[in-house]
Amino acid sequence: MTRTTTRLVRLAGGLLIGAVVLAGCSDDNAGSNAASSSSAESADEATAHNNADVTFVQGMIPHHQGALAMAQLADGRAQDPRVIDLAGRIEAAQDPEIETMTGWLETWGEPAPESMDMEGMDHSSGSMDMGSMSEEDMATLEAASGAEFDRMFLEMMTEHHRGAVEMAQTEIADGSNQDAVELASNIVESQTAEIEEMQSLLSELGG
C-alpha cells in the first residue's frame, strides 16, 4: 500500500468516526429536548384550569372545613361507636383533601378562601353554602350529647354531604383540570356511600 493510499484510508476512517460522534451528540440533544418538552407539558397540565375548577376548589375547601368542625364535635359527645367511627373517617379523608386543594390554588395562582371556624359556618350565597349549617345549627349540635347528638349529627352531615356531591357533580361536568375532576369523582363516590350509611344508621336509631 502506498503512502498516499494509507493517508486516504486514515482520512476516511477519521471522517467516519467523526460522523458517528456527531450522530451520537445529535441523538443526545434530541433526547434532552424531548425530556424538556415532556417536563414543560407536565407543568402546563398541572396549572391548566378553568373558572369551574377554581369555583369548585374555593367552595369545597370551606365546605370540607365545615365537615371537619362537625366531625370533631363527636369526640366526647357521640354515643354510638359507629357514629364515632364515621366521624373519624370523615376527618381522616377530608383533612388531606383540604391540603391538596390549597396547594392547587397556590399552583394556579388563585386566591385561597378565608378559613372557616365553628362560628363561621353560614355562607351567604353561591356554591359554598350548599349543605352547610347555620351558626344556630352548629351551636345546637355542640350542645347535644348521647343519642340526641348521634341523630342530629347524622341528619346534618347527610345534608352537608349532599351539598358536596352537588358541587362535585358540577365540577365533573364543567371542570377542565384532570386532578380536580378526579377528586370530584372520588367525592361523589365516597360521600354518596356515606350518605347511604348514615341513612341506614338513622333508621336503626329511629331517626
User: What is the CATH code for 49-205?
Assistant: 1.20.1260.10
Q: Indicate the domain borders of the chain.
A: 1-47, 49-205
pTM above 0.85, yes or no: no
Alpha carbon distance 188, 76 (integer Å) = 29
pLDDT given at position 131: 46
Q: Provide the 3-class DSSP secondary structure of residue 1.
A: coil
pLDDT given at position 45: 67
pLDDT given at position 128: 37
Backbone angles phi, psi at 128, to 5 degrees: -70, -15
Strand partners, 78: 146
**Helix-, strand-, coil-residue percentages of the chain, each rounded to 5:** 80, 0, 20
Pairs from 34-40 (Cβ < 8 Å, separation ≥ 24): none
- The residue whose grid cell reads 347524622 is 154
Comparing CA positions, the residue from 146, 175, 147 lying closest to residue 49 is 175
Binned average pLDDT, 10 residues per bin, the chain of 207 residues = 50 50 54 56 74 97 95 96 97 97 96 63 38 81 97 96 97 98 98 98 87
Q: Are 78 and 68 in contact (CB under 8 A)?
A: no
Q: Are 202 and 78 in contact (CB under 8 A)?
A: no
